[in-house]
Amino acid sequence: MATTRDFNEMLNEHLDYDLMASEYISRDWLISNVERDDEWKGGTIPVPFKGAQASSISFGSLTDAANIGKSRFVRGTIESYKEMWGALKFNHTDLIQHDGKVNEDSFLKILPDEMEDFTQFMKERGSCVMLNGFASLASGDGDSSGNIAVRHPERFVLDELVYVDDSDSVVSAAGYIRTIDKNTGTLTLYDAPITGGSVVDLSAYSLASDAKVYYNGTQPGTDLGFTSVRSQLLSAANGGSATLFGKTKTAWPYLQALQLDGSNFSQVNILEGLFNKWSVAKQRCANRPEAAVMSFKNASAVLKCLEINKGAYNIVPGSQKVTAYGWEEVMIGGPKGTLKVVSVLEMEDDIIWFKSKKGFKFHSNGFFRTRTNPDGRKYHEVRATTGYSYIVDMMLFGELACYMPEANAIVHSIDFELSES
């Protein structure tokens, strides 16, 4: 059988680091539509916010010097980058040919599909955490058999450790996913991975129907996941955070995004409601938001309303863009203007984000960090768990930061059922 060194040589020769990074970025709508700084070498990063206007206006006479506003800048701080680790396992039995030896040809046959799946998986996890901060909202209470229904069962895999919380501050329960029913959206949690163990009695926690299910490392109290759009733009009362990179939002008006209540949205009024909220956002945000970013469910309701309200609202010809990677775009014209609607696979159903053209930036040390030889060549190192498998670790170190919260708006508390008819 091939040694780890043999496998390393094949991996480093054929794994295209730059192509993987390019693929990840092109598939991730959020990363593709914010500024990027890929040169972060570690340490803290200052996040300057506007604090006050450095001017005053008066009528009838010059403004008294004592009454002229003073320019004030508020400095937040990114203390360190967040770490997302991905592990890809190659099994020895998948790499051998009929002669029982690991062969370069057999490796090259499986490498493209493995990297395709791995890149998409990393992108979906990273985007989900950057947008929401958690994996999925629950859609019902947990029971004594370890079952809990979630809105997005497709975001989970078997045997992974997840955390359930309904307070945004204290984890209520934790368990390993033993089964996933994609039709009912039900996860079954055990206290041990793969086999054995006992079900986690979720009925003991009296979970709210809007409890959140977290990936390992992103649960409350860890601060290990990327700081999400939701956390940065929403107040603590609406499911976000009271602070932004160390600064209290309510102390400074420019640290506050416009928050709009969407609790009255339904599948029959969401289109009109969306344009009404957008009109408010255009009036009150520092910059005109460029797009309404939402889940596929909410976008489906918008388009269904569009069919009913043809004439008042119409799709701009040639504006539709559909990708195979989990996001779509369309321009909708209505009585109050033309709005770009972006549906993103990883976006949660309870919010819609009116995104400003500028103000968000993703800082990283480069996508899919690898080790580097003294001569500057990047290389990947295999972590072998047994003699029959090879594990390749890849890391994305970075943080998402909003420098202009006041230029964004977010509709929250959206909660309606979408009928199939």
**Based on the domain organization, do 371 and 351 belong to the same domain?**
no
Identify the residue with better confidence: 172 or 263.
263
Q: Which of 30, 68, 26, 76 is nearest to 50 (CA)?
A: 76
Q: How many domains does the chain have?
A: 3
Q: Where do the H-state alpha helices sit in 161-269?
A: 229-233
CATH code for the domain in which residue 145 is found: 2.40.30
How high is the pLDDT of residue 335? 87
Amino acid code (one letter) for 100: G
Does residue 283 fall inside a structural domain? yes
Q: Mean pLDDT across the chain, nearest whole number? A: 88
Question: pLDDT digits over 112-170, tens only?
Answer: 888 889 889 999 999 999 999 999 999 878 899 999 999 999 999 999 999 998 765 66
Dihedral angle at the C-alpha atoms of 218, 220, 224, 229, nearest 10 degrees? 70
Q: Which of 273, 251, 271 is nearest to 261 (CA)?
A: 273
Q: Which of 74, 55, 78 is nearest to 251 (CA)?
A: 74
**Based on the domain organization, do 140 and 283 belong to the same domain?**
no
Amino acid code (one letter) for 119: T
**Based on the domain organization, do 129 and 140 belong to the same domain?**
no
Q: List the beta bridge partners of residue 363.
A: 37, 399
The mean pLDDT of 392-414, rounded to a whole number, is 93
Q: Which of 132, 352, 94 is nearest to 226 (CA)?
A: 132
Identify the residue with better confidence: 54 or 321.
321
The C-alpha atoms of residue 205 and residue 176 are separated, in whole angstroms, by 17
**Based on the domain organization, do 382 and 315 belong to the same domain?**
no
Q: Residue 105's domain spans which residues?
A: 4-47+81-133+365-397
Q: How confident is the model at residue 29 (pLDDT cuts 50, 70, 90)?
A: very high
DSSP count for the chain of H helices, then E strands: 8, 25
Per-residue DSSP letters for 315-331? EPTT--EE-SSSEEEEE
Does residue 40 fall inside a structural domain? yes
